[in-house]
Chain A
Amino acid sequence: MLKRLRNSKGKNITIWFEEKPISAQEGESVASALLCAGVEDLRTAPLSGASRAPYCWMGVCFECLLEIDGQPNRQSCLIPVQEGMRIRRPALNFGESA
């Protein structure tokens, strides 16, 4: 769904999404790295089960919430990628990830 405009001068970084390695670049957000790697949706709406992906890219819509390094509900469009990050989709049911 997304592509990098140009390769960045930053380091290549490996992050892990649902236990699979994804190649990312220093200085980009977690959400952007995932969508550049072909991930199409980040979460499902808890009630309808519909797929959701980032809408605002600035921290107000909360459609990019992911579990990052064991912490649930992180705003992945605000968080820069770091080597070895472990990222998961949020658990569908409230309370499970807590």
Chain B
Amino acid sequence: MKEIYDLLIIGAGPAGLAAAIEAAKHKISVLVLDEQSEAGGQIYRSIRTTQSLRPETYALLGPDYQHGENLEKTFREAGIEFLAGASVWQVEPDRALHFLRNGKSQKVSYRRLLAATGALERPVAIPGWTLPGVMGAAAADVLLKSSGAVPSGKVVLAGSGPLLWLAASRLVSAEVKILAVLETTKYAYYLQALPYLPQALRAAEYLLKGLRLKRQIRRAGIPVFSGIRQLRAEGAQKLEAVHFDHRGQSKNFEAETLLIHEGIVPNTQLTRQLGCEHRWYERQRYWHPLLDEWGNSSVDGVAVAGDGGIVAGALIAEASGHLSALEAAFQLGAIQKIIEIRPPKLTVKLSGIIKRCVLFWNSYFRQIRKSSFHLRRTL
């Protein structure tokens, strides 16, 4: 490790990996730190280990996960300096940062910092949520990726949002016993969302994906309770029962595991410590750092890429990583002028049928446009 790097990237998820790969092309010195034991972030968590040691789990996780394979491989083969298991605990105003690794604290300086810290599952406190047996639904998904483990007993899922259904779908594929899915979304919200439907149809593949996930749950014979309220977990030393109200009736399930999910929010610990300006994003209900179209924060030399800025998913994170790295290279004088912004080369393996590739390619560009729209909104 050197004392100072041109670009210090925190986080080795899609945004951090794409940024590192792009930056390395422009011959600026790069160091990537991540607190996990290997590259991939949460979306591609432990992708290399899963692929080599747990091939059946790798197959079960499907194309959204496997998309990370090429990205991780490209990153690894580029020979970029990477320290896994490194937890950042302090950033100083004079462009120095401290991290803990193998029980030792180390200091490193940077010219530019890229926070690619991603998102975390929104913590939602309900009565009994600290009981052993209660955890996040995305957390259960991360557990499947990182360790190939699933809940052994009866499971109830509760909350809202696409990741709830994705987690449920993967647990169904893993033959986990799911008693019920409890949707906290109020019926009124579906009506309120209706005006957005025509716009949403422009990204119809996402709607179809959601419908497919829901259909898989219903086909597995799992009851879905919509518009539930008063969710609570009960048990003496660990979870024993999940209680809730549904259409005015109080109901309960005896279960060993309750998985809660109410969406994901940017992990802003680093940008908060740096004193970056943050804004409340009403539509997605979270605080996020204020960024310009290149991902620069309000603090000089500090940029953010990926879900740590605006939660928009892995593909946009990858694109924003490339953009932030180009901006870093430009600011550092490694490239003179950014004449043309070309979308980054697709890292997905084009093994499917051609139609699928074309669909994917189109949605990829649409996402890049959407991403820049999101970023503009925050200006």
Q: Which residues of A contact B (CB under 8 A)?
A: 1-6, 8-10, 25-29, 32-33, 35-36, 40-41, 45, 50-61, 63, 71, 75, 77-80
Contacts and interface: CB of A to CB of B under 8 A. Distances in A.
B162 interface: no
Of B53, B56, B153, most buried by chain A (CB within 10 Å of CB) is B53
Contact of B238 (A4, A40, A59): A40
Nearest to B118: A58
A27 B36 contact: no
B192 interface: no
Given A1-B257, A41-B238, A60-B267, A50 B130 contact: yes
A82 to B, nearest CB: 11
B222 interface: no
Contacts of B133: 1, 40, 53
B267 A1 contact: no
B151 interface: yes
Which of the four size classes fits the interface of chain B?
35 or more
A30 B132 CA distance: 16
A36 B129 CA distance: 21
16 contacts: A2-B143, A3-B151, A5-B57, A5-B174, A10-B53, A29-B147, A40-B237, A52-B130, A53-B238, A54-B139, A55-B130, A57-B139, A58-B121, A58-B139, A59-B36, A71-B103
B142 interface: yes
Contact of B151 (A1, A56, A78): A1
Contacts of B42: 58
Nearest to A68: B103
Interface in B134-179: 134-136, 139-140, 142-144, 146-153, 174
B150 A3 contact: yes
A64 B350 CA distance: 40
A58 B142 contact: yes
A27 B55 CA distance: 12
B186 to A, nearest CB: 26
Contact of A40 (B35, B132, B148, B149): B132
B152 A5 contact: no
B54 A57 contact: no
A3 B121 CA distance: 23
Given A57-B142, A71-B103, 9 more contacts: A5-B148, A8-B53, A27-B50, A27-B147, A28-B147, A29-B146, A32-B149, A51-B131, A57-B136
A18 to B, nearest CB: 16
Contact of A28 (B135, B136, B148, B174): B148
A5 B149 contact: yes
B346 interface: no
B364 to A, nearest CB: 26
A59 B117 CA distance: 12
Contact of B132 (A9, A41, A56): A41
Nearest to A35: B149
B210 interface: no
Contacts of B147: 27-29, 32-33
Nearest to B41: A58
A51 B237 contact: yes
Given A8-B53, A27-B53, A57 B143 contact: yes
B256 interface: yes
A20 B57 CA distance: 29
Given A56-B120, A60-B120, A79-B37, A9 B130 contact: no
B85 interface: yes
